[in-house]
Structure 1
Amino acid sequence: MATEGRSAPSSSATTALESAGFVRLIARADGDAIAASALLARALAERDTPYQITVGRTIAERARRMRAPTADGDATVVVGTADAAATDAIRLPATDRPAALEAVDLVRDLGTIPDPVLALAGVVAAGGDPGAGESEWLVERALERGVVDRRPGVAVPTADPVDGLAHSTRLHAPWSGDPEATREALADLAADPDALEADDRRAIGSLVALDTVGADAATDAAAEAIGRALRPYATPEAAVATLGGFADVLAALARTEPGTATALALGHDVRDRALEGWRDHGRRAHAALADASIDRYDGLVVVDVDDAPVETVARLAVDFRSPEPAALALGEDEAAIATRDADALGAALEAISRDLADAVPATDTAEPDADGGVEYDVGHRRGYLRFGPGLEDETIVTTARELL
């Protein structure tokens, strides 16, 4: 099962998009890929080129969509790793850099100015630091235009810090997922969200950092993880309050409500619906992690979460609760792996998927194109597995331990 496609040279990709009568954009199910697809869609809209964005949760699902019939002159762009044997689509695999930055390059080649806020939200969703490395010029452009502003505090999508912090999946504190507990924790600091000064935001950031790293179950990695959520870039003209908050909402909805995530990234008026979906996602993820028992193995912790967003739980676990460098979240017919080091994750996920496929009884094969009913995806520091009934948790854990 091949997993790596070669990126099309920029000139050929640009030529194909410039001449296309219709463009299909097929995105990986994460915030970075959603942002990248929306950047490309906005550029196509400026050229009056019709397009369609769909989201594929697994590599095999994206490959099936890539193989769907198209009319002459149409173009297909896939954002995220896809089966190398599937069509001659333009590929933005986004393995070594954020998909949003790959999309920015292509958008500029098309003669369009990319939205720096959307691009930077994609960078953050990919685990990057806005302003670092290749994204430095995007921050400079955004600052010049006045669409971002660095300030103290925590990166959340809402102006109300209680609402934002209670549901944020960029941190995990003892009060996370519980608005009333969060309100009590911030009782002396956030009485009036509309009147917060810089000192108030600085105090909130300090309290959040202390509560996060000081939690009984917090690990050393929590300090680094919470640091990425502090001193945010505010986004006064965007639908959400900060870059980090934008990334958080896109990441949450990419897996549960991809249509809403896409609409938000395109600039449509879906803020209320998007935030409600993000709140539900955050509540479920934090509740699952707080209630779950965590089993520790050499190099891996395992969290049994049942009906919860497994990818978010795995990421929160490895960032805030895991003494090991990788976390496996086991759900019902799906699982997710998050790591602190993503160097070999793609190869490991392919091997895990292949071995698990061999363990699935033949009668449980769900998809004719799937390997034994097991499909997978890989992104930045995370992997996803989807499988039909018949796989025992012990088999999944053993396979993951052997191959990670």
Structure 2
Amino acid sequence: MHFHISLIRLIIILFSYSISSNQALAFEADYPSYSSQLSSDIVLGLGYIDNFLFSGENKENTQVISIKPEIGFKSTWDKTLVTIEGKANVSRFSEFEEDDNTSYSLAGEVAHYFTYQQKLSLKLNYGEQYEYRGTGTSLGLGEMLDSGNERLRSNYLINYRFGQDHSIARINLFVGQSYQEYTTRRQFTDIYDLASNHLSGKFDFFVGNHLYASAELSYQADDYENNEMLNGEHYQLLIGSKWQASEASIFEALIGQQQIHFDNKLLNSSEDFSWRILFNWRPYDFFSIKLDSQSAYEASYQGSDQYLVVDHINAHLEYDVNSRWSLATTLGLNRKEIRGPSYRRSDDFGKFILASGYHFSETLSFKAKYLFNDLTSSLQGLDYQRNELTIQVKVLI
């Protein structure tokens, strides 16, 4: 509560400052009195999966047909922007009809620009996602279940931003709450019902030659409705620098500490080294590279007395052969360390993606994608490898 009160006071102070200095921070953006835009598209996909149940030995394959419609609405008046987006994913399988599913998500944002330097926004998200057998709560148990699980998620996030990309000082403050629960197999999954309160701040100060000194602080309080064992708080403090010569050339490197504390003393508090690295580079109009890596605590869905320390690194390359044809590849590794009162396990999730896209016109495009997933675990019996090939056609409506 004290964190929220302090944040509200800070926002009020910054708002007061902005009102008293409107001449210095003139609102240069040219916003029309009113405009709106409606967009929609649909993606039709056909794919093949060689290990549907994420099994290490008894691999079973299937074909999949998917339909992914998407609709978006954007409206602007004066200095306020409203966006609404809806997505759905309908999947049907040739060999596993019991896993036929429909996932969906709804997202909305209202953003008000007080001046060119200041913005206050509210984001809302709500959706239901299908969790396939052999993943999440059923990792290593894909062959023992007759269907997957469905998980409901919702959250809101309030953001106050002071400063632009090239301002001398930049402040980003966030307050939010998220909630998630499984809607299937409640006798086993209700222990994962989780409500979390979030509070964070990002502070950047220009030191010269496109370089900023940066600090980031985040706080999260977790409340498990049916599993008080994992109730607790975790903090993260990162300091470092950010360099941005242009929108296409960005480098961020921050290091620090993260701590997690539990209300139940059977779980030991922990303190770990933490980092976040981001590198975006586009040396040519037709070629770009993106690298990102970070470490953070996450909730575990493998037991009632466990949590995760997740380290991940991803590399993504894009190459435009010409104005219509593009190639892309992604290589990633997620290392998840599962910690309990007297138990530790390490799971390494690897992925490799190779994709090719072709734009026939502004409204019609084609994409082919190969996806390889791999798990290497310190617990015997969880390892698997999985290949998936998909072709998609996207139509703008």
TM-score for the superposition, normalised by structure 1: 0.26
Considering fraction of residues, name the structure with more strand.
Answer: 2
Q: Greater relative contact order: 1 or 2 (C-alpha under 8 angstroms, separation 6 or more)?
A: 1
Query: Which of these two proteins has the greater Rg computed from alpha carbons?
Result: 2
